[in-house]
Structure 1
């Protein structure tokens, strides 16, 4: 029989320490580019209990995982600050970016005593990401970002690096502000890439280019084949037979296309679904080709993932050789979040999660349809059959201007405790970062941490989120700090109106751009009674003046032209309207954050304290934009929980941690 205790006070087996130890992620499955059967499989694991170290893992001959990247090395790129695609493998040799020095290192996994060796210059300000091996010219292609002048923006370009000593580095493509996806065709005779320029972001508009590669590896005849300021291209990729595919949102939805020799792009699969995600990190993959480079199997089979209404699905696309027509066939999995799709031969790999399972690396036999787990978290989280996990409920609610917004509602859930009849739980509204991004239904112990203690959670995909088409994404244009804030307020009211939350115990939390939504909602509306800002933004002008290159003109689209429209920036900046903020706020900030500098939190805290309002400020040395270390993740959660309990006067139940 369940014990009765107030909402928010329940003891839970999901401790802050457990959440922190369960935060490692699995990402970037890579097949040795010289193999044709997928036998050499690698992936990346981020481990909070090792100080946030990113470890390259290999599946050994027995099918067991083994770490191949020795301590203290950590594979992580800082291109665009967010990195991505930080390693590749060719002929048993791993080429990876080391986090501490941002140099490319070479590691021969075929030799047991091999140690990483740096093959790019030290202390020269170079950063690398998004690798592609060009075996024809025996070189590595990558995106390079050069920081050589503190007073100027870094320079981005596509570089080549010889795979043999002395590992000479050259510039292959330059002239634009940003680059992504340099990819060589199977025959080594063509190169494609994406590029874009300020003030665009890659999900607003970019260009897909193609060029001929001669025997010396030089380019000629560079031609733009897709993309514009109003069209966003994602993941250009060559089929095994040498045809170029890509994802475009020209229809209003990110769908898959093939570039024909006639110069036309043909839609492979047309539907109101998104086969892409915003390119915050380089090298993202939502589809892959099956088969090998031969006449009878020329890449007419594709494994892909796509999202509809906040849920992700896996599918197979068969393309008719004769007519070019295609058929999308669903692949049944229990996953509702899917990413990092890779393939070789008749096998595909992907990272998947569901409402009751965290990120796992799966292997799909596309002939038999059998899906098996390659790697899953070893952290002892409570089994879902114990009933401790709250299941997300997909909701759509009315908001301003006749629009609708989307969210996932998580009710309080605990197998050992219940509240008194008639009581309503405190509600935590979560604002995802970006703001161009989305939340998901994948098991998130940071949410279960709250629901298992008797809090309800509303995780909102406000207008401007991805996964609902380009029109929904553009509803935030010029409206950041307006539409997103209205949506979290209307979402909170929706939950209250349905009797699912205590109107006197509403909190709001968010990180980065989500932290700005938190502070704006607390300042310009009076619905919420407490807030938690993780490295959030309080001063839009300061952000426009002081952030990294990748996002330095992001606000041009979200807010307005700066400094010409400085009045809008000031009007939407909570720091200038502290007199309207009347509830307690807790701030968490990494002292090494280059995306949202510490002055953002410090200015808000100072302004609040001058007004005599409760403001808690907690800093973490050695942390950047997002916390990597387990002890810091646990400390932040523990102090946030204590903060809410004090604000809402929730008495702790005996036995609670």
Structure 2
């Protein structure tokens, strides 16, 4: 039952099925209680246990394979297979960890092929040593993965990503990232062929390089159906792949070498994040030449070039996204000539495109976000999708019937869905009248509501990237707060993807300005309309979002407190030698050239202006983070000492950029809640104490 403002009683009943299979019902009177103090079954351990999502889906014969998170197993990524009879099982036991570190964010870490006898053959990158291994899962209990590549003693070693098995050639082709010295920028990347017989495991000379190394970054080669051409994507500093990339096309000779590689599409101001071939041997790629990532098709020419690209479905929507990881897949051709594609503006859908007629038909269902991973098998397509009421799961579409079904990692409600947040997709107005996209999650509980005379506190979430996007999906970390009476607003600030190139280019040379302004504008709007308590607003973010959170505490007086997670805090340090190679020149576009605008680097760095911080904050950091290293967090905390501002610094052994271990995520989430309850004046007895020092 619920009590209305007039004092009348209404009845609210909800039914659900939990992970245990038990049906539950939430019914009873709604009690008014202080926001932030509501009891909730969504605890931090539960949120941590359900963190992460399936990735890198692929078909192996009639089976479906993917990688899956294992927070309770030290955060490793498991390789999982779904057999034809529907049973799921791990391909590799712990501690095997199927994850690449190429460009630190990794990418496609495995490849497998079905064989007539002996079962499948799989090649994968093992996270601890980054070597490629080959494994035959059905070779017997004593069979173990065998290394294919050597260990390198230089810097970060030799790493591999985006493998493709060419069993007829006795090789696996992949991207090799090889360090040549101790600095994070002492690195080269080439396409390389590794013998499947293991002869390169102790002999670097047995690795056959396919490309000439003239480009700083490359994606894995895609072989044409006739085996005569290979295509891949390349780019160079200071560009990021969403700024400009080039499609490389080379002839593949009879002995497997690449000849005559040349640029056939793209350029410094055109981003092409994926390229592949259709069954007829035509090149398919996504390009943002119109301001939106749309699909194109082109015929290779006899002279090794490419004919005029033809747009397949021009529309002011995104048919691809930012290439943060090597080997992401937003579209895949089917054997019947159709193309499965993830597309949308803000939210995304899975559509089936007829490239000849231009017809695009979307899949029906509750999913609002499709990840950049697709696999096709005959007329069936499998992707990874989620929605506001479900976490990421594997969804199969039968293109003959239009029917969908869940085929892996099926969502199971960890708690009664009555505790899930109910999002509102909003567009706010920022400085200069610009649009700001956001998802707002008001406090929500089946049996509690806030007092009539009290507005709820809100936390403004700034996503990472900053060339990223906050998806509209179920997130138990958000539910952790909303079910306790604390609202959350995820802001897709200027610079975010999903809204065209003009929207993401708003952040060019404006990092620390536009992102901060947009988050503050959303917070102020929520307060002005009576949705949020203006005295109890917080800001929170990780990585680039951690930067925005810290910059917001320095540059605005909007927030009562903030949570800063593995952040960038010192632009000059990050621009020189305090990050990895992939993003080492990212600030050229986000801030400007260091030599040209050195004062801007000082002006915007939170570490240079700790005297402006007056709000309490929590700083969370992984000690193995090479992207946003702990040295910046440690310098920041040292400068805050003795300034009279309450703050806490929690550093976690064994964690890198993005927390993966269940115990870390649990501790971090509880500490964040402890900051808010103390700052917002909320009384709770179930929150571990947070030692705030001044």
Q: TM-score, normalized by length of structure 2?
A: 0.90
Provide the residue aligned with 2:132 in structure 1: 104
CA deviations 1:428-459 (Å, max 9, x no partner) are: 00000010010011111111111111011110
Provide the residue aligned with 1:392 in structure 2: 423
Provide the residue aligned with 1:159 in structure 2: 192
Provide the residue aligned with 2:341 in structure 1: 304
Provide the residue aligned with 1:357 in structure 2: 390
CA 1:140 to 1:107, structure 2 compared with 1: closer, same or farther past 3 Å? same
Q: Does the aligned pair in 1 maintain the 2:313–2:355 contact within 8 Å? A: no
**Aligned-partner SS, 2:641:** helix
Q: Is 1:416 aligned to residue 439 of structure 2?
A: no
Q: Is 1:578 aligned to residue 578 of structure 2?
A: no
Q: d(CA) in 2 for partners of 1:261 and 1:593?
A: 43
What are the residue-to-residue correspondences of 1:163-182 with 2, within 5 Å? 163-167=196-200, 168-173=206-211, 174-182=213-221
523-532 or 180-189: which moved more? 180-189
Provide the residue aligned with 1:502 in structure 2: 533
Cα deviation for residue 598 of structure 1 reads: 0.6
Count, aligned residues = 638
**Aligned-partner SS, 1:602:** helix
Q: d(CA) in 2 for partners of 1:350 and 1:542?
A: 40
Cα deviation for residue 362 of structure 1 reads: 1.1
Cα deviation for residue 165 of structure 1 reads: 4.2
Q: d(CA) in 2 for partners of 1:251 and 1:135?
A: 40
Q: Does the aligned pair in 1 maintain the 2:332–2:375 contact within 8 Å? A: yes
Q: d(CA) in 2 for partners of 1:379 and 1:366?
A: 26
Q: Does the aligned pair in 2 maintain the 1:10–1:653 contact within 8 Å? A: no
Provide the residue aligned with 1:294 in structure 2: none
Return the match for 1:288 from 308, 327, 332.
Answer: 332
Q: Is 1:645 aligned to residue 689 of structure 2?
A: no
Cα deviation for residue 61 of structure 1 reads: 3.7
Cα deviation for residue 612 of structure 1 reads: 2.2
**Aligned-partner SS, 1:25:** coil
Q: d(CA) in 1 for partners of 2:687 and 2:608?
A: 43
CA 1:378 to 1:227, structure 2 compared with 1: closer, same or farther past 3 Å? closer
Provide the residue aligned with 1:24 in structure 2: 52
**Aligned-partner SS, 2:106:** coil
Q: Does the aligned pair in 2 maintain the 1:290–1:343 contact within 8 Å? A: yes
CA 1:379 to 1:368, structure 2 compared with 1: closer, same or farther past 3 Å? closer
Q: Does the aligned pair in 2 maintain the 1:289–1:344 contact within 8 Å? A: no
Q: Does the aligned pair in 1 maintain the 2:63–2:81 contact within 8 Å? A: yes
CA 1:436 to 1:378, structure 2 compared with 1: closer, same or farther past 3 Å? closer
Cα deviation for residue 135 of structure 1 reads: 4.4
Q: d(CA) in 2 for partners of 1:656 and 1:610?
A: 24
What are the residue-to-residue correspondences of 1:321-400 with 2, within 5 Å? 325-339=357-371, 340-376=373-409, 381-384=414-417, 387-400=418-431
CA 1:497 to 1:571, structure 2 compared with 1: closer, same or farther past 3 Å? same
CA deviations 1:516-572 (Å, max 9, x no partner) are: 000111111101010000011221111112110000000000001013321100000
Return the match for 2:350 from 314, 319, 323.
Answer: 314
**Aligned-partner SS, 2:130:** coil
Q: 5+ unaligned residues in a row in structure 2: which ranges?
A: 1-28, 115-119, 201-205, 302-306, 690-694
Q: d(CA) in 2 for partners of 1:175 and 1:379?
A: 48
Provide the residue aligned with 2:8 in structure 1: none
Provide the residue aligned with 1:118 in structure 2: 147
Q: 5+ unaligned residues in a row in structure 1: which ranges?
A: 292-296
CA deviations 1:339-386 (Å, max 9, x no partner) are: 2111120110000000010010111111111211112357651242xx
Cα deviation for residue 90 of structure 1 reads: 1.6
Provide the residue aligned with 1:73 in structure 2: 96
Provide the residue aligned with 1:128 in structure 2: 160
Q: d(CA) in 2 for partners of 1:522 and 1:495?
A: 18
Q: Does the aligned pair in 2 maintain the 1:273–1:468 contact within 8 Å? A: yes
Q: Is 1:183 aligned to residue 211 of structure 2?
A: no
Provide the residue aligned with 1:150 in structure 2: 182
Q: TM-score, normalized by length of structure 1?
A: 0.95
Q: Does the aligned pair in 2 maintain the 1:54–1:76 contact within 8 Å? A: yes
Cα deviation for residue 47 of structure 1 reads: 1.1
CA 1:75 to 1:655, structure 2 compared with 1: closer, same or farther past 3 Å? closer
Provide the residue aligned with 2:19 in structure 1: none
Q: Is 1:271 aligned to residue 315 of structure 2?
A: yes
CA deviations 1:400-449 (Å, max 9, x no partner) are: 12311110001100012111113110010000001001001111111111
Cα deviation for residue 123 of structure 1 reads: 3.8
Provide the residue aligned with 2:288 in structure 1: 249
Q: Does the aligned pair in 1 maintain the 2:81–2:89 contact within 8 Å? A: yes
